[in-house]
Structure 1
Amino acid sequence: MASRGGPMVTGTDGTDYSHRQRIAAQYQISAQNKSRLKYCIFFHYLLFFVMLAKLSADILDRLDIFILEIEELQIPKPLIWEYVWCISLLFTFLGLTAVRRNRIAMMKRYMLGIGVFGLLPIFYAIIYYLPDVWRYVTTGETEDIALWQDYPYGLLWYGFIIQAVQVHLFSLYFANNLVSAWSARGTKRE
């Protein structure tokens, strides 16, 4: 076999083996989407820590721990969707395991978990905060809307929501691509 820049076999220019050096499409797609899904899961962790910072006041209250600096922030009480969204973090471990072992069934469970515990609470939050955000965006008035530190509370949540929707939708897209690529191999790993 000829190598570039090395000794050449007589009667060939070295390109007759180029077909052997191509990677099958499903393996290339798999490698690319694995990397992208890992980035999405990393951003999911970052969003989780933002949510954990928001929930810290309530968690400390439930544990009967008093920290004056946190109490002075007067963080609003959390709604149930915030805790439900935090459950979606558990499914990231399932997704990472599926990526590591190329498991179709585990990846499908990851996708289901992100859809139910990631996207549904976020869609609930979009609907819940929509009246306040719409009123503030259209009129600019802060009367009759919830404020935190003189900022519209719903608008602050929309900053989080936009990021979370992007992370979850891209995660689902890359996970679906992985399932398709793994299924194309012809072998099903459950």
Structure 2
Amino acid sequence: MASKFGSRPVGSDGSDHWHRESIAWQYKVSSENKYRLRWDIFLHFLMIFMMFIRLLPGLTALLGFSIQSLRRWDLPAPRPWEYAWFVTLVVALMGWKSTPQNNSFLLKQFMLGTVVFGILPVLYGFYDLSDHLKAYVYEKKFTYVLFGYPAVVVWSLFLAAAVQLHVFALYFAIVLLRAWKPRGVKKMN
């Protein structure tokens, strides 16, 4: 047992630490980035929940239900990119599921799904909102209000947070794939 003030084994002044075992870098990196990826995916789940609340009136209308209390929310009709982004629920579940057993296949599917259903719809969302955002910035014109703020500002902030979460998730996934990559066997010549 190490102690600052306790006795040391005979013949050791503590300078012989270089030969002791330590955790291999790939296990340390894997542990740290699994934790970071899971936090990222957890925040992604919170954003998915917010998007679900936003899409709820449109989803009920799409399924043929009419709920009067949802009509009072007075939200604009959902855009196609919002439905496409909502698919990241499945992608996030794949990423969450890949971490306990270092499943590289699921992690690669998570990365592909993050690009296709996460980043691309967000970029299209920025493009879709660009005219409304310009009108708000230069002329202070807006059509809808969410939580007391212009809806275009709220959605722009949502998209900015979403793109950051997706980029960080991709970074953590790339680092994990490198750490999980099997080490090559050295050839004897």
Q: What TM-score do the two structures reach when normalised by structure 2?
A: 0.85
Distance in 2 separating the partners of 1:39 and 1:19 = 35
Whether 1:168 aligns to 2:160 is no
- Say if 1:19 and 1:34 are closer, same or farther in 2 by CA, change over 3 A: farther
* 1:186 aligns to 2:175 (yes or no): no
SS in 2 for 1:129: helix
17-26 or 165-174: bigger deviation: 17-26
Give 1:146's aligned residue.
143
Task: Measure the CA separation in 2 of the matches of 1:56 and 1:19.
Answer: 60
Q: Please give the per-residue CA displacement for 1:100-135, whole angstroms capped at 9, x wherever unaligned.
A: 111223211111110100110000000010111012
SS in 2 for 1:66: coil
Deviates more, 1:168-177 or 1:4-13: 4-13
Deviation at 1:139, TM superposition (A): 2.6
Q: Give the equivalent residue in structure 1 for 2:54.
A: 54
2:88–2:114 contact (8 Å) kept in structure 1 = yes
Count of aligned pairs: 181
In the alignment, does 2:69 pair up with 1:69?
yes
Q: Deviations over 1:10-29 (max 9, x none)?
A: 21234424542422222111
- Higher normalized helix content (fraction of residues): 1
**How far apart, CA to CA, are the structure 2 residues paired with 1:53 and 1:19?**
57
Q: How many Å separate the matches in 2 of 1:78 and 1:174?
A: 31
Query: Is the 8 Å Cα contact of residues 76 and 144 (structure 2) preserved in structure 1?
Result: no
Residues 43-67 of structure 1, C-alpha deviations (whole Å, 9 max, x = no match) = 0100000000001111222344333
Give the fraction of aligned pairs with identical amino acids, expressed as a percent. Answer: 34
> Which sections of structure 2, spanning at least 5 residues, go unmatched?
185-189
Q: Separation in 2 of the partners of 1:72 and 1:19?
A: 70
Aligned CA RMSD, in angstroms, stands at 2.1
1:155 paired residue number: 153
Does the CA-based 8 Å contact 1:133-1:152 persist in structure 2? no
Task: Report if aligned partners of 1:33, 1:174 keep a CA contact under 8 Å in 2.
Answer: yes
Letter in structure 1 aligned against 2:152: G
1:127 aligns with 2:143: no
- Aligned partners of 2:52, 2:90: CA distance in 1, in Å? 14
Distance 2:18 2:67 in 1: 66
